[in-house]
Amino acid sequence: MPEKDLNALFVDTLKDIYYAEKQIYKSLPKMAKAAQSDELRDAFDKHHDETEGHIERLEKVFELVGKPARGKKCDAIEGILEEGKEVMEEYEDTSALDAGLLAAAQAVEHYEISRYGTLKTWADKLGLKDAVKLLDQTLAEEKKTDDTLSKIATTAVNAEAA
């Protein structure tokens, strides 16, 4: 049985977020299509493009640790994305739809921010300097997306939902 150390935990978590990013990449176009606000739709489209880069960076991190880029089913992201689907179905054609989509998207962002922050810290502890840079770049983009979503919520979408 392989040793269960920080390196193994790092690789397992890397597989988790790799799976999550691929699921998010598939979900964002559906969310963009459902969005009523042009600003929200544009934010989803932009993040879809960024997510492609996140996947590529993760593949580079896998290379750095000498492991194949493989995902491991992430129940957390499955649940968060399922909630987003429910919002799209239950609030379709209502003024609250975009507020619900925003809430679902921010739940995804907060999950990603948590994972990337943890991975960056562990990569630093493991002496993986190049991985730290790659993970930090994605972490910064995830935080920026979360900020953008917050601004859209507070300047337009939440008021329209009320």
Tell me phi and psi for residue 90, to 5 degrees: -75, -25
Answer whether residue 161 is part of any domain.
no
Q: Which residues contact 20 (CB under 8 A, 6 or more apart)?
A: 71, 74, 76, 77, 111, 112, 115
Residue ranges making up the domain that contains 29: 6-154
Q: How many domains does the chain have?
A: 1
Give the domain CATH number at 21: 1.20.1260.10
Answer whether residue 160 is part of any domain.
no
* pTM recorded for the entire structure: 0.93
Q: Tell me the per-residue pLDDT of 36-87, one tens digit each, with 9 for 90 and over.
A: 999 999 999 999 999 999 999 999 999 999 999 999 999 999 999 999 999 9
Q: Tell me the per-residue pLDDT of 92-142, one tens digit each, with 9 for 90 and over.
A: 988 899 999 999 999 999 999 999 999 999 999 999 999 999 999 999 999
Q: CA-based angle 36:39:41, to the nearest 5?
A: 55
